[in-house]
């Protein structure tokens, strides 16, 4: 492959490249020295699961691995305790060390569903930050100014609205940038909201006598709410470890506009050869859901969840396999059971308050009939409950 073809792959599906001239020069140097580029990407384990938003850069990294480059995957077990302020309009909760460690345990297995283990170096940034002395930290902090940090759009908005910004949040971009210094990265990849942090990494590398890394930003995936970026903070994620039917159902529930956006992003990263412009919105979402689920499950499971979704949500039928809950008579009152209690006993609601909210919101069905009465007492000894995409059969024994 010639240099121009390689650069074309680097640019495929990205938001911004800083800069193409630097990338060209770095690739030429790497070819001359017969070495791969060191490409850095970091994730803070602030929750146990990796979601589809993370897979956008992971798919890009996989593309670059196929070109022979070395991926440095940074698990920010130190920085996760602070929380990345990028895009946040309120101060993040400080996570405990144990919470972060517990979340980090799941990350390695999940990323290797996408990345090649042999070409991926996984590092934890506590390795260097836990050993950093105060003198080194003060030297690091001298390379950024308050004015520079407050110029960021998210910090400026919080400052103008008198929303607290902690000093530790000011330090976060410096810590992320210092990761690049320690790793001497050639390239760093991140979402478009990470541009400030990535640029600071370039500046820090210059200050520490290194060549500044090339920056590649990638489009952010909108969450299931169709408004905010996909983030654990907004509770709008699709986790790659979720059951296949949950992933499929969430994708099918996306708006047409968001589903099209997903198709455009993933088609460029996964080289999907499909003419999405020639099919209707229902077919687009079906193709999207099938292709995404197939990335993490086999074809048989993908076909099964697609058929079940069609049966349940298009034909309004009950799935063939649903859990059954035996309700002892002692739990009932005069051979009747209160709907709120039944939802809790069948684990379709975690509390009485949640059960009432689901009923009032019209999400609860009994034998295909919507229930909106929170005082309803059920006398039938057997029936089928449906809440959202969840079904169960109850039997009063």
Closest CA to 359 of 376, 335, 346, 379: 376
Q: Is 141 exposed, middle or buried (0-12, 13-18, 19+ CB in 10 A)?
A: middle
pLDDT of residue 89: 44
Residues 6+ apart with CB under 8 A from 323: 391, 392, 393
Domains and CATH numbers, the chain: 3-219 (3.40.50.620), 244-314 (no CATH), 324-396 (3.10.290.10)
Q: What is the pLDDT of residue 317?
A: 66
Low-confidence residues of the chain, pLDDT below 70?
Answer: 82-95, 152-154, 273-280, 313-318, 320, 331, 333-334
Name every residue whose Cβ is closer than 8 Å to that of residue 276 and which is 6 or more positions away in sequence.
Answer: 260, 263, 267, 284, 287
pLDDT of amino acid 86: 52
Integer distance in angstroms from the first to the last C-alpha of the chain? Answer: 70
The strand pair at 187-191 and 38-43 is best described as parallel
Contact of 357 with 364, CB cutoff 8 Å: no
Cβ distance 359 to 374 under 8 Å?
Answer: yes
- Specify whether the CB–CB gap between 155 and 165 falls below 8 A: yes
* Of 333, 338, 379, nearest in space to 355 by CA: 338
28-41: buried (b, 16+ CB within 10 Å) or exposed (e) per residue? eebeeeeebbbbbb
Q: What letter would DSSP give residue 95?
A: P
Contact call for residues 395 and 381 (beta carbons, < 8 A): yes
CA nearest 62: which of 325, 233, 266?
266
Report the alpha-carbon distance of residue 254 to residue 284 in Å, rounded.
Answer: 11
Determine the 3-state secondary structure of 34 from DSSP. Answer: coil
* Most distant pair of Cα atoms in the chain: their distance: 84
Task: Please state whether beta strands 377-378 and 337-338 pair in parallel, antiparallel, or not at all (unpaired).
Answer: antiparallel
d(CA 285, CA 264): 12
């Amino acid at each position: 492959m010639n240099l121009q073809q390689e650069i074309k792959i680097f640019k495929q599906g990205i938001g911004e490249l800083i800069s193409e001239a630097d990338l060209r020069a770095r690739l030429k140097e790497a070819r001359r020295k017969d070495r791969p580029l060191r490409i850095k990407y970091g994730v803070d384990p602030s929750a146990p699961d990796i979601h589809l938003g993370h897979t956008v850069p992971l798919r890009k990294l996989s593309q670059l691995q196929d070109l022979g480059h070395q991926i440095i995957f940074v698990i920010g077990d130190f920085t996760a305790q602070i929380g990345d302020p990028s895009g946040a309009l309120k101060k993040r909760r400080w996570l405990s060390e144990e919470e972060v460690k517990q979340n980090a345990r799941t990350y390695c297995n999940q990323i290797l569903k996408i990345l090649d283990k042999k070409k991926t170096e996984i590092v934890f940034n506590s390795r260097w930050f836990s050993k950093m002395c105060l003198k080194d930290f003060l030297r690091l902090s001298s390379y950024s100014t308050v004015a520079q940090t407050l110029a960021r759009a998210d910090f400026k908005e919080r400052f103008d609205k008198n929303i607290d910004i902690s000093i530790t949040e000011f330090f976060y971009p410096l810590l992320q940038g210092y990761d690049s210094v320690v790793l001497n990265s050639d390239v760093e990849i991140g979402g478009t909201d990470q541009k400030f942090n990535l640029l600071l990494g370039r500046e820090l590398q210059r200050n520490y006598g290194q060549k500044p890394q090339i920056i590649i930003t990638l489009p952010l995936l909108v969450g299931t709410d169709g408004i905010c970026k996909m983030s654990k903070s907004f509770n709008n994620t699709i986790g790659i470890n979720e059951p296949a039917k949950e992933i499929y159902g969430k994708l099918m529930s996306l708006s047409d506009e968001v589903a099209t956006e997903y198709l455009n992003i993933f088609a460029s990263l996964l080289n999907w050869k499909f003419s999405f412009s020639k099919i209707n919105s229902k077919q687009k979402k079906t193709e999207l859901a099938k292709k995404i689920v197939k990335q993490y499950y086999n074809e048989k499971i993908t076909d099964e969840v697609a058929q079940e979704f069609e049966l349940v949500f298009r034909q309004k039928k009950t799935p063939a396999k649903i859990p059954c809950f035996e309700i002892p008579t002692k739990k009932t009152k005069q051979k009747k059971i209160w709907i709120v209690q039944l939802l809790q006993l069948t684990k379709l609601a975690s509390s009485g308050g949640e059960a009432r909210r689901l009923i009032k919101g019209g999400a609860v069905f009994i034998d295909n009939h919507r229930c909106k009465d929170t005082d309803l007492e059920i006398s039938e000894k057997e029936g089928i409950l449906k809440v959202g995409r969840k079904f169960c059969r109850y039997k009063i024994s």
